[in-house]
Amino acid sequence: MQSGLAHPSCFSSTHQGANTAQNFPYRCSHVFRSPVEGTITWKNAFDYSGNSLRPPKFLKLRVSTDGTTVRASRVQSYVCCTLAREAVGVVDTVDCKKENVGVLLLNLGGPETLEDVQPFLYNLFADPDIIRLPRLLRFMQQPLAKFISTVRAPKSMEGYASIGGGSPLRRITEEQANALRIALEEKDLPAKVYVGMRYWHPFTEEAIRKIKKDHISKLVVLPLYPQFSISTSGSSLRLLEEIFREDEYLVNMQHTVIPSWYQREGYVKSMATLIQSELQTFERPREVMIFFSAHGVPRAYVEEAGDPYKDEMEHCVRLIMTELRLRGIPNDHTLAYQSRVGPVEWLKPYTDDTIKDLGRRGVKSLLAVPIRFYFQT
């Protein structure tokens, strides 16, 4: 089942403009407050008159457990829904031999040298989806980003120096892009694969220039984050929508978005296989605590902005543990959140606090499982 933003590309395998009311089968992956009963149709759900990645107005949605009753409240927000049909990307639905198809992989980006660290951090903290300031204080976004990046750069440089002087993310992402291209060719689905980073080279804008140069007519947009968050996939998609909106070629290009894919069978089984393999390296595998550690986000993102990240992360862990149980692995597990910064409250429990608590409870063996990005460093 595909999960994603509540925009037109969620509702069809190829993105098309529409002016008439249409009904679409879907289920929301999480629940919101203060709903009002209603029937969601294309016409009354969106003020939409183009082919941008997302319409200007969003809905917070929820449905009954049988997936039939829709409740909605009109809110400017990111929404994550799960389609009631199997996810089918545009690559599977078009004749790739007749169409010029591209796949755009979106990722965070990372500094390749120590000199890149401070400007990379500036780009990161200048993103309003990373540091969400009140409207009246948004003029402080860039000065604040400059201050934080300058203060944090020395410590971050130490970390990057310890792994060779830079992030391996670009290299690994480009290797993944090449592997995806080969896999699609083996399925007789030839497509060109592009890499667009949010905060460092190759920037999303650089990838878009290549896409236009290659005259791509249909595009699959795939953020490389298993779970959706407004601070990761959401930020990348927001930027991409802005780029599309300002370019006539892109506005008229058919595209589809895969905003999250943590629930895909291949991903779940791959994670279970990795965990199963690592457990066998312990002297007493059944006594090992499986410790899922996810990158945190500020609590306000979830409670005030409607970010589905926490729900998707918890669902992801449940799916993996269900797969492990089917394989006869009974180990206990826990989920915690890491990498909080600043004075605001982030998602809990925190990783460092949880590790201390497990020690007090007498846990002797721990298998740490990073579970946020499509690869971990």
Q: Rounded mean pLDDT of 359-365?
A: 95
Could you give the CA distance from residue 102 to residue 190 in angstroms, rounded to a whole number? 9
pLDDT of residue 95: 59
Mean pLDDT within 129-158:
95
Out of 3.40.50.300, 3.40.50.1400, 3.30.1360.40, 3.20.20.330, select the CATH number for domain 265-370: 3.40.50.1400
Pick the CATH number of 3-105+169-257 from 3.40.50, 3.10.450, 2.30.29, 1.10.730: 3.40.50
Hey, where are the domains in the chain?
Answer: 3-105+169-257, 111-161, 265-370
Tokens of 110: 């990372």
- With 50 as the cut, is the pLDDT of residue 163 above it? yes
Cα distances from 60 to residues 54, 63, 167, 182, in angstroms, run 14, 11, 37, 38
Rounded to an integer, what distance in angstroms lies between the CA atom of residue 142 and that of residue 137?
Answer: 11
Those residues with Cβ within 8 angstroms of residue 178's Cβ, 6 or more apart along the chain or in another chain: 193
Q: Stretch 40-50: mean pLDDT, rounded?
A: 29
Q: What is the pLDDT of residues 285-305, one digit of tens each?
A: 999 999 999 999 999 999 999
- What does the pLDDT average to over 316-331? 98
Mean pLDDT, the chain, whole residue set: 79
Residue-wise pLDDT for 208-262, tens only, equals 999 999 999 999 999 999 999 999 999 999 999 999 999 999 999 999 999 999 9
pLDDT given for residue 97 in this prediction: 63
Q: CA-to-CA distance for 130 and 115, rounded, in angstroms?
A: 22
